[in-house]
């Protein structure tokens, strides 16, 4: 039952976000903000597919333990694409609120991104092992969480300042995604049931994408 339900959920998620992303790329009508949002949605779905597709295959066949390499490689790739997702979201923020300059802020974003990617590439992560160390899971997520916090603050302040109803909950979608993700990083290996938090975390990302899509439908028609 878990295999069927989880596979269906993941399939709906991947198809939905990639489709929405393509629709945004096609419907942005030269609006760079929504074009970036479309790229962001496609990156989100395509990146997650590297992990979720092998997981679905494993659940529906011989089990997760027989797909350690594919699952580890998928998580490795997803860790990078999720970082790219937040870089793109940063530029969506800059485009939407017509932010000029602020080179220091952009530098901070890239420093956090660089640290995140560097830590993800370290062999100590043991991505392809069934016994990847928790400590490195924490290390590589510190700059990622700081990047997320920065994006949360930026969208919260700007949406409030500009009375932007369309994006007023963008900050909350990111809060929720990290709120559900962090316990999984810390405790899912010892308490497998906590892994279920990835479902609401995924829903939070879908909400993020839908905010952009519905804003595009209103503003580009």
Structure tokens at 207: 């909400």
Report the pLDDT averaged over residues 7-21: 94
User: Tell me: the pLDDT tens digits for 91-111?
Assistant: 999 999 999 999 999 999 999
pTM of the model: 0.93
User: What are the residue boundaries of the structural domains of the chain, listed by start?
Assistant: 2-219
pLDDT score recorded for residue 137: 92
CATH architecture of the domain with range 2-219:
Up-down Bundle (1.20)
Q: Is the Cβ–Cβ distance between 174 and 148 less than 8 Å?
A: yes
For 176, the token pair is 């929720």
Tell me: the pLDDT tens digits for 31-52? 999 999 999 999 999 999 999 9
Q: Supply 145's token pair.
A: 């969480």
Q: Contact at 8 Å (CB) between 198 and 179?
A: no
Q: Give the tens place of pLDDT for each residue, 52-102.
A: 999 889 888 888 788 889 989 999 999 999 999 999 999 999 999 999 999
Summarised one tens digit per residue, pLDDT across range 144-187 is 999 999 999 999 999 999 999 999 999 999 999 999 999 988 88
End-to-end CA distance of the chain: 43
């Amino acid at each position: 039952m878990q295999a069927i339900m989880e596979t269906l959920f993941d399939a709906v998620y991947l198809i939905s976000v990639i489709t929405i992303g393509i629709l945004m790329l096609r419907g942005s009508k030269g609006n760079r903000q929504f074009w970036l949002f479309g790229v962001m949605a496609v990156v989100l779905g395509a990146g997650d597919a590297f992990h979720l597709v092998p997981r679905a295959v494993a659940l529906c066949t011989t089990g997760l333990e027989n797909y350690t390499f594919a699952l580890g490689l998928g998580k490795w790739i997803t860790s990078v694409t999720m970082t790219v997702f937040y870089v793109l979201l940063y530029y969506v923020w800059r485009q939407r609120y017509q932010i000029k300059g602020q080179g220091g802020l952009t530098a901070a974003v890239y420093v956090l991104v660089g640290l995140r990617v560097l830590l993800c590439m370290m062999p100590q992560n043991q991505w392809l092992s069934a016994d990847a160390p928790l400590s490195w899971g924490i290390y590589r997520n510190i700059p990622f969480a700081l990047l997320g916090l920065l994006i949360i603050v930026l969208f919260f302040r700007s949406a409030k300042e500009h009375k932007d109803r369309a994006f007023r909950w963008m900050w909350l979608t990111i809060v929720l995604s990290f709120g559900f993700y962090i316990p999984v990083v810390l405790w899912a290996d010892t308490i497998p049931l906590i892994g279920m938090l990835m479902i609401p975390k995924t829903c939070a990302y879908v909400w993020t994408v839908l905010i952009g899509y519905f804003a595009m439908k209103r503003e580009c028609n």
